[in-house]
Structure 1
């Protein structure tokens, strides 16, 4: 008799669990639960951006992060090539040019380290008005949206950091290049270079976003995997 009671109680509990689960699914389907669904999509976009920026900065801030990758390697700042024959006078061989270019790419890593926490913070607090459109958009839709919302703030933040890097560089060719510049101060050169670093950061983040969209499981993030697999 006791066994029958236990079985009956277990059956009731099982039915109750099924009913509760079914009710939850039904609630999510109701129009009133659109807010809950919207929040889940916003969370998915934030997670997509979080993983994309984390992967991008991990690569860029590593030793040789800019120089060793043809996709992120930066040219010398435009000011060095637009002031008469500055490069011609200083860089008498490709070896010297490579040395100077390598040093600027090394300084770019310092700029990336300054930018990284700003991007991570923005991912957490930025308003996302249409998460569904970003998830349904192109391979770099979320990155493009975040860049637009940050509106050049990385350039402003990196410029002083890169100016300091230029002033304290131990590479003699940097000092020679700065001395040869007329009409351009270190701050101006640093700002121009910050613009190039900014472009490289967002381009790399876009590539990382596209890679995540192509293989969501690489993130091991169940919420993001589910959102991208569902094809919202």
Structure 2
């Protein structure tokens, strides 16, 4: 499989990216209880930070997108402009190989998205943080996606655009001699859009798991806030 040959640098970036997402857990002055001066806005940000850390920890591994049906990217149906190429792209073998390439590129693309997500969490406007904490299993992620989805997709697009021109061309050149008619921009745009949605689905899954059992986080502040806002 294509993703089996990814560089070990991916793992190093994964560790650095995950570490960057961890908010400082400094004890504020005057904390008399596990909540102390932490408010519900801090709780939402901690929830999103931990959810994002766990999601990216999965996604930035080799095969992180492809091996998970929740996040796997697929090749768009209309990827070729000439009849021969379109027919080739409809075969399962070729579609499967290019899908693997797309999902491998997504790992590098997601690495670009990590700081975007972090900045968005820090700058998130929380008009009613209590409502977010009391909301559904992915309420915080849904709010984050509304704020950051566009920027995440734009950050990942260049990685897909550049990666496709090497990986997809190499795959197709072994099958057809005419390589014209490939709409790389359309494929890259579709892949970036799919990857952006996949990232927020992955974050939402982690948020739901944390909400279901906040004590397992080992974070007394987050645990107290989540349990305290259950109505």
Q: Same fold (TM over 0.5)?
A: yes
Q: 1:84 to 1:134 in 2, by over 3 A?
A: farther
The alignment partner of 1:80 has SS state of: coil
Shift in Å, 1:68: 1.0
Q: How many residues align?
A: 197
Q: 1:95 to 1:79 in 2, by over 3 A?
A: closer
Cα distance in 1 for partners of 2:196, 2:46 equals: 22
Shift in Å, 1:124: 1.4
Shift in Å, 1:111: 1.3
Q: Deviations over 1:173-232 (max 9, x none)?
A: 2567993435x3x33331221111111111111111101100112221111011111125
Shift in Å, 1:147: 0.9
Q: Deviations over 1:47-75 (max 9, x none)?
A: 00001111111111111001111221111
**Moved beyond 3 Å, runs of 4+:** 81-87, 174-178
The answer to whether residue 224 in structure 2 is matched with residue 229 in structure 1 is no
Cα distance in 2 for partners of 1:60, 1:180 equals: 32
Q: Which ranges in structure 1 are unaligned for 5 or more consecutive residues?
A: 1-20, 29-35
Cα distance in 1 for partners of 2:84, 2:168 equals: 23
Cα distance in 2 for partners of 1:104, 1:98 equals: 10
Shift in Å, 1:102: 0.9
Q: Which ranges in structure 2 are unaligned for 5 or more consecutive residues?
A: 1-29
After TM superposition, the score normalised by the length of structure 1 is 0.74
RMSD across aligned C-alpha pairs, in angstroms?
Answer: 2.9
Q: 1:97 to 1:78 in 2, by over 3 A?
A: closer
> Structure 1 residues 192-201 or 41-50, which shifts more?
192-201
Structure label with greater radius of gyration: 1
Cα distance in 2 for partners of 1:142, 1:82 equals: 41
Instruction: Specify which of 188, 191, 207 is matched with residue 189 of structure 2.
Output: 191
Structure 1 partner of 2:5: none
After TM superposition, the score normalised by the length of structure 2 is 0.75
Is contact 2:75-2:187 (8 Å) kept? no
Structure 1 partner of 2:127: 129
Structure 1 partner of 2:179: 179
Q: 1:82 to 1:206 in 2, by over 3 A?
A: farther
Structure 2 partner of 1:89: 88
Q: 1:64 to 1:97 in 2, by over 3 A?
A: same
Structure 2 partner of 1:41: 40
> Structure 1 residues 203-212 or 66-75, which shifts more?
66-75
Q: 1:151 to 1:58 in 2, by over 3 A?
A: closer
Shift in Å, 1:120: 1.2
